[in-house]
Amino acid sequence: MILTKPPVVPIGEPKAGEGGYQPPQPQIRRWNGSGHKALTCDIQVDHDFSLKMRDGATLYMDIYRPAHTDAKVPAIICWSPFGKKFNGLMSLQLMTPWNLGVPDDALSGLEKFEAPDPADWVARGYAIVNVDSRGTGDSEGVMATMGTQEAEDGYDTIEGIAKQGWCSGRIGLAGNSHLAIIQWFIAALRPPSLKAIAPWEGCGDLYREQFGRGGIYAGDLFDKLIVKYMLKGRHGMESFKEMWKQHPLSNWWWEDKRPDMKKINVPTYITGTWTNTMHGMGAIRGWLEVDSPHKWLRWHPWQEWYDLWGNPQAKTELMQFFDYFLKGETDNGWDQTPRVRMAVLKFGKSDPLENVVEDDFPMARTEYKKLYLQPDSQLAFDPPQQQGLATYNSESNEDAATFTYTFPRKTQIVGMPKAVFYMSCDDYDDMDIYVLIEKLDKDGKPMLNLNIPWKGIPVQSFDEFTREQSTEVTEEKIQPLGTVVKLDIGIWAMGIEYEAGESLRVVVSGRNKAVNNFGTSEWVDNKGTHKVHFGGEYASHVILPFV
């Protein structure tokens, strides 16, 4: 069956007072703001400014710009479906403990969710444009998450804003998560007035990195949190879940959710982190594919909202980047910024390494070493000569096959691992397989990683948390033919330092044992015993990037 239109499902309608929504009231007013962060200048707000797209649909946006001036300013567009008045203060208070370590006075309340704060940027001589994307709030049309439709809307909005009398004609895109992902799509269309982008934490392929990752539907976070509670509009939305039910394999619609990053040719400042379970591979692909000599990659060790709103270095650098490319301040030193900086996690109470300057990523000195599965549940550099077998109950939430390597000296594993396993199942004609990499302490106990600074929260140990685990996980779905099948499994990128005596443990199972923001067990199709073969002709191994 070939679909001519994607499935559309209803979403909740916006209601006054919920998530900051207000009915359209086009108006221009000068405002000194409210919220925790004090404003240092008056801000002129153009509420519910509207622009028509090429197909006639009207989108609404709020524009924050300098008051009392005729000077033309560059604009930074912040694009997402979460509501132009749903802000960071609301999200931190509703969704996180201790505001994720973000200080109370870090935000003004004018910032769009996952976007820069106008209180910082307007005083610096910018306009911030917070857009309600197609189908959001009172913006017209069916909500189309990423893809050609949303990219074309972004193009039209950029060119429409560039023509406004107050605008210098130079436009940037900024923001985190959805606000970052959409930048890949819009920039690939090359709107003439777009001069720089800053995709902070943005995945690059919604099918392979999020909704269909590893062949198992993985849209639970989106369906059960974002769709149910955060997306509000009047015309419905294209449904990832319904499309998966009809087309679990890639088709034209899924491929439209993968931007052609090779077409991006504007200055690009990318950030990523090992601690996010969705965006990392998009940041890596962006770094590898964006076709511009002016691109930077900063890999930080923190949670994305903390880096966006609570990390002073991040805000300072973002301003320096846009000052250089949108305002022409080419003597501000941005061109001396290292092109690649990495972070390495240590886990436990040890602070991570950050701002580690590198020549490139992956690093040229990386040694990809094979560690072979052994019959004593260990990993070793030499393959066992005799064939062996490890099994687990694929329907169990607890059972797994595990293999451990203990480091004799301090070692960093930074890059993209891979597993090559030979597996079989006599009980069923399908297997869903999860591969997890854990870090163990010197006593063999799993370690945890905190992705915000300890100094910013009121607890001093993991014992004061409810259980949560930071790990690297992937999943693979295959169709065995009743024989041993070779699996090539890409594992999510990682950057971890191991002290002498600490260990890396590979866990193979039929259930996800990591912190999981995506698929739940209802999407897993497993029965019976899974067998992991190793030794002899079945040289099962993991490939790790040693640096």
Are 266 and 373 in a shared domain? no
* Residue 8 pLDDT class (50, 70, 90 cuts): very high
pLDDT digits (tens, 9 = 90+) for 157-215: 999 999 999 999 999 999 999 999 999 999 999 999 999 999 999 999 999 988 888 88
Is residue 30 helix, strand or coil? strand
Q: Which residue has the tokens 């549940």?
A: 377
pLDDT digits (tens, 9 = 90+) for 104-148: 889 999 999 999 999 999 999 999 999 999 999 999 999 998 999
Is residue 344 helix, strand or coil? strand
Residues 6+ apart with CB under 8 A from 443: none
Are 259 and 318 in a shared domain? yes
* Residue 256 pLDDT class (50, 70, 90 cuts): very high
Of 322, 337, 352, which closes a domain? 337
**Cα–Cα distance measured from residue 334 to residue 124, given in angstroms and rounded to the nearest whole number:** 17
pLDDT digits (tens, 9 = 90+) for 336-367: 999 999 999 999 999 999 999 999 999 999 99
Report the pLDDT value the prediction gives residue 482, as an integer from 0 to 100: 62
- Structural domain includes residue 1: no
HEC letters along 232-258:
ECCCCEECHHHHHHHCCCCCHHHHCCC
Are 332 and 447 in a shared domain? no
Pick the closest to residue 343 from 282, 281, 298 (CA basis): 298
Inter-residue contact 64 to 45 (CB < 8 Å): yes
Residue 422 has pLDDT above 90, yes or no: yes
Give the domain range for residue 383.
Answer: 367-546
What are residue 465's phi and psi, to 5 degrees? -100, 160
- Structural domain includes residue 360: no
Residue 370 has pLDDT above 90, yes or no: yes
Residue 471 has pLDDT above 50, yes or no: no
Residue 467 has pLDDT above 50, yes or no: no
Q: Which residue has the tokens 């040719």?
A: 265
CATH of the domain at 273: 3.40.50.1820
Report the pLDDT value the prediction gives residue 4, as an integer from 0 to 100: 63
Calculate mean pLDDT across residues 269-292. Answer: 93
Name the pTM for this structure.
Answer: 0.92
Report the pLDDT value the prediction gives residue 477, as an integer from 0 to 100: 59
* Residue 277 pLDDT class (50, 70, 90 cuts): confident
Are 17 and 120 in a shared domain? yes
